[in-house]
């Protein structure tokens, strides 16, 4: 077994870390407090190839692989989880279009996603009454003489305010998962309305909005993948997306551990650094152990995906464990900092708030357990 990283992976990790620490981390607090979408930071990431880490060079991607993508995500998330989720969904949208789109769809959108011309891409699956169960979606796509007409609502759409392109799922046939198809919708499409920004606990610099499709007219060429084959596309995309969210969780946990470690060495009580107390040492030891286990699961899933091997169960296990352990690590980080950990003066309260959603989006922990159990029992 070889745990070493390739030269390309190390290079991507170094570039992501340097940019994240030099440019993104110093702005993360302000971005979060003022709920500013990180346009300049995302464009900087695009220049470094981070918006298409695992995409073919012919389409403008970095072609550096899935492990490199996970490492880059971890570095960006350690600086700013909001910027990281935008990067994650944009990479995912680029991958979906590359894998399932026609050459014309890929050539039109993927280079724009990779270069930052589209500052982000959006993935529009969830609806107000269909989150864990997308088979219950109500948005419809009706055939017209010139193409398709979309009617319905999507909910919780990351980057919806800034996306240049949306991958949207809608019902074209029978109820359930077999009657769903997938469409590419460009920003500004007539009949697409972007709703009000959600007022969230964390990830306050990421955009999360509802979308309304009110007789949204699309050309014939907007159909994406086979008619009725949309659900499979969504599930395949989410398998990969879960590696992104697991990586995001690892990044947040790593930032929380660093902050807690520094503080424990510095803060004094009873005439000694609190790092001298075994209670604090054990918290740090547990945090590091959980983080390393989360990273191992995440990189294993990334490695399998990169080799073209089955990775659904491993991606769900990585997402489940990394997200839940990230929450435990952030809770402990706040505890190490005591009262200061509970204030905006230190970043650990932001890490804790940002961590919370990782057990919810791209499939809740309950859904990950369901997927894992189904694959064990298959
Ligand atoms: C900040 C944020 C960003 C998001 N970004 C996107 C995005 O870009 N695109 C997108 O499409 N969606 C996005 N989502 C939506 C997200 O994926 C859903 O919120 C998530 O899938 C859960 O769906 P729900 O909120 O409808 O909860 P529900 O499905 O209503 O679940 C509520 C509770 O019931 C549990 N539950 C449901 N079904 C089962 C079951 N079968 N067994 C056991 N427990 C179950 C869930 O685990 C949960 O605890 C985002 C959400 C948030 C909060």
At 328-353, the pLDDT tens digits run 999 999 999 999 999 999 999 999 99
Asked whether the predicted pLDDT for residue 1 surpasses 90, the reply is no
Asked whether the predicted pLDDT for residue 281 surpasses 90, the reply is yes
At 17-69, the pLDDT tens digits run 999 999 999 999 999 999 999 999 999 999 999 999 999 999 999 999 999 99
Average pLDDT over residues 261-285: 98
pLDDT score at 201:
98
**Span 231-377: which CATH code?**
1.20.140.10
Q: Which residues does residue 123 pair with via DSSP β-bridges, in sequence order?
A: 167
| Domain ranges, ordered by start, for the chain | 7-119, 123-230, 231-377
Q: Do domains 7-119 and 123-230 have the same CATH topology?
A: no
Burial grade of 174 (CB within 10 A; 0-12, 13-18, 19 or more): exposed
- 341 neighbors 348 (Cβ within 8 angstroms): yes
At 288-331, the pLDDT tens digits run 999 999 999 999 999 999 999 999 999 999 999 999 999 999 99
Domain covering 7-119: architecture: Orthogonal Bundle (1.10)
163 lines ligand 1 (CB under 6 A): no
pLDDT score at 159:
98
131 lines ligand 1 (CB under 6 A): yes
Cite the beta strand spans of the chain per DSSP E. 120-124, 140-143, 147-158, 163-171, 180-186, 192-194, 208-219, 223-224, 268-269, 272-273
pLDDT score at 243:
98
Ligand 1: which of 364, 369, 374 to mutate, judged by most atoms within 8 Å of the beta carbon?
A: 364
102 lines ligand 1 (CB under 6 A): no
Distance 357 CA to ligand 1 centre (A): 10
Catalytic-residue membership of 349: no
Fold of 123-230: Butyryl-CoA Dehydrogenase, subunit A; domain 2 (2.40.110)
89 lines ligand 1 (CB under 6 A): yes
Distance 277 CA to ligand 1 centre (A): 40
């Amino acid at each position: 077994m070889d745990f070493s990283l390739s030269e390309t992976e190390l290079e991507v990790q170094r570039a992501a870390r340097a940019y994240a620490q030099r440019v993104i981390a110093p702005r993360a607090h302000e971005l979060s407090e003022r709920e500013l979408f990180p346009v300049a930071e995302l464009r900087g990431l695009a220049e470094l190839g981070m918006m298409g880490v695992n995409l073919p060079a012919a389409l403008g991607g970095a072609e550096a692989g899935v492990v490199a993508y996970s490492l880059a995500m971890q570095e960006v998330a350690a600086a700013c989880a909001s910027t990281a989720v935008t990067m994650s969904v944009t990479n995912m949208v680029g991958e979906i279009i590359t894998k399932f789109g026609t050459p014309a769809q890929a050539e039109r959108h993927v280079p724009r996603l990779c270069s930052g011309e589209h500052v982000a891409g959006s993935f529009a699956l969830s609806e107000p009454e269909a989150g864990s169960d997308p088979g219950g979606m109500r948005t419809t796509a009706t055939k017209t003489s010139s193409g398709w007409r979309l009617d319905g609502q999507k909910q919780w759409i990351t980057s919806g305010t800034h996306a240049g392109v949306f991958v949207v799922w809608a019902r074209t046939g029978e109820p359930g998962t077999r009657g769903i198809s997938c469409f590419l919708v460009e920003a500004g499409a007539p009949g697409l309305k972007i709703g009000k920004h959600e007022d969230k606990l964390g990830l306050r610099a990421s955009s999360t909005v509802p979308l309304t499709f009110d007789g949204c007219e699309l050309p014939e060429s907007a159909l994406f993948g086979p008619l009725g084959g949309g659900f499979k596309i969504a599930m395949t995309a989410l398998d990969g997306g879960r590696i992104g969210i697991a990586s995001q969780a690892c990044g947040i946990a790593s930032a929380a551990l660093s902050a807690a470690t520094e503080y424990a060495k510095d803060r004094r009580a009873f005439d000694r650094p609190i790092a001298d107390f075994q209670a604090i040492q054990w918290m740090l030891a547990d945090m590091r152990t959980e983080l390393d286990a989360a990273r191992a699961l995440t990189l294993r899933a990334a490695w399998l995906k990169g080799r073209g091997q089955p990775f659904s169960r491993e991606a769900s296990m990585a997402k489940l464990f990394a997200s839940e352990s990230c929450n435990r690590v952030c809770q402990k980080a706040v505890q190490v900092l005591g009262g200061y950990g509970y204030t905006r003066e230190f970043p650990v309260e932001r890490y804790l708030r940002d961590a919370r959603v990782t057990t919810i989006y791209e499939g809740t922990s309950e859904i990950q357990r369901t997927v894992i159990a189904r694959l064990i029992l298959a």
